[in-house]
Structure 1
Amino acid sequence: MAENGEEKLLAVARHIAKTLGNNSNMADDILQIFSNFDGRFSREKLSEAGGDDDPRGSAALEHTLTSLDRRISQYVSSDQPIWADSADSSAFLDAIDELIATVNDWSPMAVDKTVSACLVRADDMLQQAMFRVEDEFRSLMERGGESFDLTRAHSNGESTGNLSFDSEEDDVEDGDIEGVIRNGEGDQIPVAQPVSDYDIVIDALPSGTINDLHEIAKRMVAARFGKECAHIYSSCRREFLEESLSRLGLHKLSIEDVHKMPWQDLEDEIERWIKASNVAFRILFPSERRLCDRVFFGFSSAADLSFMEVCRGSTIQLFNFTDAVAIGSRSPERLFRILDLFETMRDLMPELESLFSDQYCLFLRNEGITIWKRLGEAIRGIFMELENLIRRDPAKAAVPGGGLHPITRYVMNYLRAACRSRQTLEQVFEDNGLPMKDYPKLDDRVASSSPLSVQIAWIMELLESNLEAKSKIYKESLSSVFMMNNGRYIVQKAKDSELGTLLGDDWIRKHTAKVRQYHVNYQRSSWNKVLNLLKVDNGSMPSNAAAKSMKDKLKLFNMQFDEICRIQSTWFVFDEQLRDEIRISLERILLPAYGNFIARFKNVPELSKHAEKYMKYGVEDIEARINDLFQGSHGSAGSRK
């Protein structure tokens, strides 16, 4: 072996002389320099090393290749798995190592025709060896996955036993979740189990198999077959991930499928997507990253490429669904599920940043960020659609009895529910709110608020304008009751909630004062004329004329009071406290005036004898009639939810 090494050394020296020497004299000079430097490079030995065709050097190479060919061929042509026997696998890898080293040693002398021909033969041998180790690599991955119990995983380094959460698949019963599933041909395909605790890592292959794969990968990379190794690896692991997502209930849907899907079905799909994405990005992908790094330890480029190819399809499937939802309908009822998607993507951003940070995966990270931002655009678009919905609600769509209008109930409950996600909405609107010139009716105090506060205040302004337009179809008194009802509901829904916090205390006070003003307007328009009838003249009117005047006023009062009570008993005030406030205020102004009028009436001599004949109501009767007001004959108009 030492003799063979010296022959190689002499052949290299002579090759250098021939390559650098422009003519025979220069080559001789270079050989003389080598001879003076080391006795092994004497002119005699260099001459013996081969003359122009270097026969001894190439003969040594041919001898080495013949020996390696014999050793490698027995494994390449074997019908049995090489890695079934550790001695065979070690011997095969040793032969490959020697072949790679031989090619590397002799490659500098490839300009020599004989050496070049030998290297072509060596490359062919190496390629055949690589084809076989590719098969062994694939077989190891498949057998390793089938033999390893995937229901075992690690959480903080400890075994946690079976991993499961309630499955949405009809064919899986609680407590009967296996580590593998079967395809239509009866083959077992390993899959990671759905879980609710994300602080775990799945070891999809046994440690011994991983070590064997690493040894093969190391040789394939050294033989410049790193990309082929990565492709084989990724094709096996990609199937694992795709089956895992399918096992989690995630369906492969096109954009068209998503857009045609009924909303209730899409809601269910979004729920499955959220669960699957959390498992994928927090468990499956990190576990795949860990496995790649172990198999391709020391070869970061191959590890990165393999990981990208493993995860690309599943990641794009997850992203495409979210993108389809984001660019779909902006109907307001979709807000809450899209908020769920936005928050899930936001919370997964650290995982995306960590997992997809290398050169191969960077496009996946960027795509994730783009789709996350697109979800934010969808949320802002939904608020714009809510504005349009309020604008389009027809002014003639009034409620009988002046009760609570459905648009008020819808908008207030919608905003109240939306503001439970205030932090998320603040994030969505922070850098994308409209300038104040697009909100012409909002005052300066709102202008200094957050973009979300401005957006909410603007929607409230649109709602109030819509209600004012609707109130015009009522007569004046009922118009005030209508605005009182809806204004009271708006204030109550805003108070003691995130919605009220966004609108601010000034806004609450301002709109509470508006409700009081509607109350004053109602009293003035409904009861001032009746109250004027109860005023008694203190002038020097003759007694007969005074008696007639009071008798006429009482008669007219009874008629007008009856008419008001008949009509307003069909009106509806939804809020019991507001209804009591209106009744109490009426009693305070009406009962004393009526009592005083009746007392004066009885003191008129011409009327005192027959006072009961003209008095239709006592004070208690007036109070009872007032208490019958605003009960409503249209229950649906006043339901409060």
Structure 2
Amino acid sequence: MAENGEEKLLAMARHIAKTLGNNENMADDIFQIFSNFDGRFSREKLSEKTCDNEEDPKSSVAALELGLKSLDRQISQYVAADHSIWADSADSVAFLDAIDELIAIIRDWSPVAREKTVGSCLARADDLMQQAMFRVEDEFRSLMERGGESFGLSREYRNGESTGNLSFDSEDEDDGGVIRNDEDEGIPVAHPITDYDIIIDALPSGTISDLHDIAKRMVAAGFGKECSHVYSSCRREFLEESLSRLGLQKLSVDEVHKMTWPDLEDEIGRWIKGANVALRILFPSERRLCDRVFFGLSSAADLSFMEVCRGSTIQLLNFADAVAIGSRSPERLFRVLDVFETLRDLMPEFDSVFSDQYCVVLRNEAITIWKRLGEAIRGIFMELENLIRRDPAKGPVPGGGLHPITRYVMNYLRAACESRQTLEQVFDENVVPPPPPSKLNNDRRGSSSSSLSVQIDWIMELLESNLEAKSKIYNDSVLSSVFMMNNGRYIVHKVKDSELGILLGDDWIRRHTSKIRQFHANYQRSSWNKVLGVLKLDNGSLAPNVAASTMKERIKLFNTYFEDICDVQSTWVVCDDQMREDMRISLVKLLLPAYGSFIGRFRGVPELRKHVERHIKFDAEEIEARINRMFQGNAGSTNRRK
């Protein structure tokens, strides 16, 4: 036994010299140090060629068999244990030491494994190693499960300091918050997340250290993938539970497409909160935990992290993809924009968290789906164009008021352009060919030159063409002008009062304001020129006996024309309060001077002096009062601007 012990000691010394010595000179130096330290380590004994087994192969193989037999007894004892080895630190240390010895034997003897006796020994060693790995794998799993249970669901850290236990629950909070147990009352209390400077550790430091010790041995023994698998299976459950507590469901593309729009809106809201928590808190926390468990084992750490997060990441991305390839109804724009912006804002997190070789596929998939969401947004704008083109001219709007398509499109564009910077990014990332030059006004000085501005300008052109077609439905050309005034004024007001003004520019606003003035001029000319013509007199051209009859005829015509116009146009609508007031004032200024002059001449005709009141139906105050009652619209048809 003493000889065997000395042989093992010498073999260990040779192994150290071989491991540390990069060449023969260094090995000799190490032999000299050992010889000076202990006489048993003579240079003659230490310099035996144990690795090649040239001098005494039978003795070396015997030592190998003896060492394996001893390790078999030790390892088998722990493999067969019916209690946790890591319940006792002495047991765990002894077990790992035995595994280390077994790893060293397999490594050192593998170069001569083709020798029959050595190969047989190594086969037994491999079998023993497999048994040991099965047991440490079970211990690894148990440590993770017990560690998570004893530590609560998770622990939150800000700037390296623990702030208590937390869990996620979407049902009890509206702001993507976390639920903490109030220590005094034991009642879950929602605390909204105001920042994401949070790290979650689901395992105690001692457990992480034990897991690291096991992981090192499993990787060294060639069982790194098995270790990563058992690690990822445990942590994957935690992530899936966390996403579930955030209210996220595992939905297929078909299930997303079959959802009603209100339900999908709610699901998108939950997705946005969940994606932020996952990418800013959960995934970085898993990356940190993975790096601690697999410290110094970067490949195993990267593989494990990818396997932990892959399923949850795909779940998040699949939902975003389902939204991207779903219906392109214009009403969906704003929620699709929310998903696009969320994914865009999380790209730095994707880049930092999924930076290794195993996760590059997930990172690239996130970029692909983000771009697909941009395509969906552009597609929604194309559908808006089609909606405008297809909107039928079913019948005239009562009173020439605001058409529903005008209100819909302008409020839609105004709301959309609150995300102007995002939309500019969407349209500029993949420049859309502009419409034919003939369809757009070439004078765009003062406007944005972005692809989005081209898109908005084109939509405005389509809307204007649509309204012009609808204006032709009116039998009265004057009412057509009022209709175009109402809708044009509404459009300009919405443009000036929003981001649309920046996109379309001052020149666009000036041009369309000028069009409104032209419609106003057309209205006045078509409606009131006939009335003004009746009041117009040619001085000195009328003989006295003809003047009286002509004056009587003209005042009669004026009364008829004026009353008919007021009766008809009192049912018409001018939606904008300021424009309605301006129109009334301009009519008063246009009509009253001519009417006053005519009445003065009328009173000057001798034959008419005795019967003036019989012919003059309206005085100046009544004229102004009748004008002020115009453009009110009938009850129920008044179409005010909103």
SS, match of residue 170 in structure 2: coil
Change (3 A) 1:94 1:548: same
State how many pairs are aligned: 600
> Mapping of 1:583-598 within 5 angstroms?
583-598=584-599
| 4 and 560 in structure 1: CA distance in 2 versus 1, 3 angstrom threshold | same
Match of 1:267 among 259, 265, 268: 265
Which of the residues 4, 27, 39 maps onto 2:8? Answer: 4
Structure 1 stretch 473-482 or stretch 431-440: which is displaced more?
A: 431-440
- Distance in 2, matches of 1:44 and 1:211, equals 39
Matched-pair contact (CA < 8 Å) for 1:426–1:451: yes
CA change 1:7–1:542 in 2 (3 A) is closer
Q: How far apart are residue 4 of structure 1 and its match?
A: 2.9
| Alignment gaps of 5+ in structure 1 | 12-37, 180-191
**Cα 1:485–1:7, aligned 2, differ >3 Å: closer, same or farther?**
closer
Using the aligned pairs only, state the percent identity.
Answer: 72
2-structure distance, mates of 1:41, 1:360:
46
260 and 46 in structure 1: CA distance in 2 versus 1, 3 angstrom threshold: closer
Aligned partner of residue 171 in structure 2, secondary structure = coil
CA contact (8 A) 1:399 1:637 kept: no
Q: How far apart in 2 are the matches of 1:46 and 1:422? A: 73
User: Secondary structure at the residue paired with 1:410?
Assistant: helix
SS of equivalent residue, structure 2 residue 396: coil
- Rounded to whole Å, the distance in 2 between the matches of 1:164 and 1:61 is 53
Q: 1:321-336 alignment to 2 at 5 Å? A: 321-336=319-334
Q: Which shifted more, 205-214 or 143-152? A: 143-152
* Change beyond 3 A, Cα 1:166–1:196: farther
Residue 66 (1) aligns with residue 73 (2): no
| One-letter amino acid matched to 1:619 | A
Q: Secondary structure at the match of 2:517?
A: helix
Amino acid paired to 1:350? P
The change in CA–CA distance for 1:165 and 1:638 in structure 2 (over 3 A counts) is: farther
Cα-Cα RMSD? 2.6
For residues 49 and 444 of structure 2, the distance between their equivalents in structure 1, rounded to whole angstroms, comes to 99
Aligned pairs for 1:294-309 within 5 A: 294-309=292-307
Counterpart Cα distance in 1 of 2:180 and 2:51? 73
Partner of 1:557: 558
Moved more, 428-437 or 343-352: 428-437
CA pair 176-4 structure 1, distance change in 2 beyond 3 A: closer
Note the 1:44-443 alignment, pairs <5 A.
54-150=57-153, 152-163=155-166, 167-168=170-171, 177=180, 195-438=193-436, 440-443=438-441
Question: Which amino acid letter does the alignment assign opposite residue 501 of structure 1?
Answer: I
Quick one: structure 1 residues 612 and 67, their matched pair in 2 at CA, closer, same or farther if it must change by over 3 Å?
A: same
What is the CA deviation profile of residues 307-333 of structure 1, one whole-angstrom value per residue up to 9, with x for unaligned ones?
000000000000000000000000111
User: What SS does the corresponding residue of 2:95 show, helix, strand or coil?
Assistant: helix
Mapped to 2, the partners of 1:237 and 1:88 lie a distance apart of 26
With over 3 angstroms needed to count, the CA separation of the structure-2 counterparts of 1:59 and 1:134, relative to structure 1, is same
Matched, 1:465 2:468: no
User: Counterparts of 1:274 and 1:48 in 2: how far apart (Å)?
Assistant: 66
Give the match's secondary structure for 2:381: helix
Contact 2:168 2:246 in 1 (8 A): no
The residue that corresponds to 1:629 in the other structure is 630
What is the distance in 2 between the residues matched to 1:636 and 1:372?
A: 46
Cα separation, partners in 2 of 1:252 and 1:345, compared to 1, 3 Å: same
Aligned counterpart, 1:519 = 520
Deviation at 1:369, TM superposition (A): 0.2
Identify if the C-alpha distance between structure 1 residues 47 and 561 changes in structure 2 by more than 3 Å, giving closer, same or farther.
closer
Aligned: 1:453 with 2:457: no
Q: Is contact 1:401-1:634 (8 Å) kept?
A: no
Q: What is the distance in 1 between the residues matched to 2:380 and 2:52?
A: 88
| CA deviation string 1:232-288 (max 9, x = no partner) | 000000000001000000011111111110111100000000000000000000000
Contact 1:214 1:295 (8 Å CA) reproduced:
yes
2:565 corresponds to which letter in structure 1? I
Offset at 1:437? 4.8
Residue of structure 1 equivalent to 2:579: 578
Question: CA 1:2 to 1:446, structure 2 compared with 1: closer, same or farther past 3 Å?
Answer: farther
Please say if residues 400 and 634 of structure 1, whose CA atoms lie closer than 8 Å, have aligned partners that are also in contact. no
How far did 1:156 drift? 1.6
> What secondary structure is seen at the aligned counterpart in 2 of 1:459?
helix
Find the residue that maps to 2:601 and give its secondary structure. Answer: helix
Pick closer, same or farther for the CA change 1:299–1:7 going to 2, 3 Å.
closer
In structure 2, relative to structure 1, the CA distance for the partners of 1:10 and 1:607 (3 Å cut) is: closer
Query: Following TM superposition, by how much is the alpha carbon of 1:168 offset from its aligned partner in structure 2, in angstroms?
Result: 2.3
Tell me the SS of whatever aligns to 1:160. Answer: strand
* Cα gap change, 1:98 to 1:502, in 2 (>3 Å): same
* Letter matched to residue 98 of structure 2: A
Distance in 1, matches of 2:159 and 2:596, equals 83
1: CA distance, partners of 2:393 / 2:53: 110
SS at match of 1:508: helix
State the AA in 2 paired with 1:111: R
* Displacement of 1:609: 1.1
Partners of 1:175 and 1:10 in 2: how far apart? 59
TM-superposed deviation, 1:464: 0.7
Change (3 A) 1:66 1:608: same
1:636–1:341: structure 2 CA closer, same or farther, 3 Å change rule? farther
CA contact (8 A) 2:468 2:484 kept: yes
Cα distance in 2, alignment partners of residues 66 and 455 from structure 1: 81
| SS of equivalent to 1:197 | coil
Would the aligned equivalents of 1:82 and 1:89 in 2 still touch at CA under 8 Å? yes
SS class of match (1:161) = strand
Q: SS where residue 526 of structure 1 aligns?
A: helix
Residues 144, 206 of structure 1: 8 Å contact kept: yes
Partner AA of 1:586 in structure 2: L
**Superimposed CA distance per residue, residues 78-118 of structure 1 (whole angstroms, 9 cap, x where no aligned partner):** 00000011111001001000111111111112121111100
Report what 2:28 is aligned to.
none
Counterparts of 1:495 and 1:47, CA distance in 2: 90
How far 1:355 sits from its partner (Å)? Answer: 1.2
Residue 617 of structure 1 corresponds to 618
**1:445, distance to aligned residue in structure 2 (A):** 3.9
Distance 1:483 1:47 in 2: 101
C-alpha change, 1:323 and 1:401, in structure 2 (3 Å) is: same
Q: Secondary structure at the match of 1:217?
A: helix
Q: Distance in 1 between matches of 2:49 and 2:636?
A: 120
Pair 1:602-2:603 in alignment: yes
For the residue of structure 2 that corresponds to 1:251, the secondary structure is coil
Q: Which amino acid aligns with 2:586?
A: S
1:484·1:515 contact (CA, 8 Å) conserved in 2?
yes
**Shift of the alpha carbon at 1:137?**
0.2
Q: Is contact 1:433–1:452 with CA below 8 Å preserved after alignment?
A: no
Question: Match of 1:20?
Answer: none
Q: 2:498: which partner in 1?
A: 497
Amino acid at match of 1:121: R
Matched to 1:226, the amino acid is G
Distance 1:7 1:319 in 2: 57
Kept in 2, the 8 Å contact 1:270–1:341? The answer is yes
